[in-house]
Structure 1
Amino acid sequence: MNSQHLPSFSLDGKIVVVTGASRGIGRGLVDALAAAGATVALTARSSDEASTIAAQVVAAGGRASGHVMDVADVGSINAAFDDIAQQHGRVDVLVANAGLGANHPAVDVTEADWDDMMDVNAKGLFFTAQAAGKIMLEHGSGRIVAMSSQASLVGIPDHAVYCASKGAVNQLVRVLALEWGPLGITVNAVAPTFIYTPGTAERLDDPEFRRGVVDRIPMGDVGTIADVAGAVIYLASDAAAMVNGIVLPVDGGWTAQ
């Protein structure tokens, strides 16, 4: 058997940065990436949270380090990547997961609502990718996986700002893929549907709300963190070496309609 023709999904030896790692999808991604063999440099806004999660990963047999980062603050982003590069020597993969979600009717959106969402979801994503990209460009290789949303691909009532911010993520991914692909760095996004997490449980445990969501998903259920992690690990791995500039829905078919 010729092993060069077999795809590898292993992340052994890879330094993987995960932003927004303190809860929800980000927290689950930390465990999944560590289980795939990565050394996870996880970030959170709180030093205590970051160090506690890193210690939990190590106690479970994985490799991790915790770092402070507020993606709404470019200075904080750059300082965190300086710290990560000093500790690990390089960055092989960025999983730009940090994001803000909120819903309000368009007529009720304030300037602060707009600025808060765009600062995290659009500006934060760009400058996080830029900081990681600078390190990756020095080594001539890397993977960037941005967390988008099905809301970037279809309109969802009462989510005008969120949809706009995630649409911006998709366009940034495409442009960065064109600029950095020839230099050895792939840039892609994962676009999940409603995912059951501790943060979404309150809404998704409401039978009426859940039924309204599930009725839109041909697979007949909401997603899990493991569903998202599978897509992220694929795009982060050597198996996806020729995948660049895509937005991969993990939505049970919602956006196929």
Structure 2
Amino acid sequence: MTETAITDAPAIDDEVVLVEVTDGVMVISINRPRARNAVTLQVSQAVAAALDELDERSDVTVGVLTGVGTSFCAGMDLKAYARGERPSIEGRGFGGLTERPPLKPLIAAVEGHALGGGFELALACDLVVASRGATFGLPEVRRGLVAAAGGLLRLPHRVPTSVAMHLVLTGGTLTAEEAHQWGLVNELTEDGESLRHARQLAARIAANGPLAVAASKQVIMQHEQWPVADRFRAQRELLDPVFRSADAQEGARAFTEKRTPQWKGC
């Protein structure tokens, strides 16, 4: 199994995951603050449902994943794991995210701990905004576990292999400053400010054509799986519908008319 964890203390709110949509941005908040937002199967199911809604809603362009309180996510709930619970969903992975991220962009807003599965959730996001007091790490080996929710697969593509190896084999941690230096964090904020800044970043993305944003993400995420000689053909399959869309026409008209485009998502 994978992630590290803390306790199975109940959340202050009965809902283990909170969802809020404003101006084309969906904020998904893990709501187990007294457990440092450690992930249970219930959390994974709720996050997966929220991500399905993110992709299905035409009025939402981008998502933000965060944790209520002072921690992003401390990983898998070890007490639930010891009782035999596994917080992964078939085909979706840990947290309902790590094996199948959404088609639309997802930003992690990180405060405090992003450890074990929490770090793997952040690695599964497209962008990361973190407070200076945040801590990232994969301490699974200290519990006799392994980072099987994407940490071993994604981290070596984001930092030099030697850095990834050191983190994984020692179970050590990175400060937010160090993670930013390695490119794991896109934006640094003061403590308590990560969600606000993530909302601002999300708003900049949501202002763009939703079809273009989603298709652009998919090309970036998929292109390495395509044979080099076939990449432009495979790219066209994703991008041609965007060029044929009403939104593409609206974008061109808005530019010539010097006004803000009114996207329809079609």
Larger radius of gyration: 2
Query: Does the TM-score normalized on the shorter chain lie above 0.5?
Result: no
TM-score using structure 1 length: 0.32
Q: TM-score, normalised by structure 2?
A: 0.31
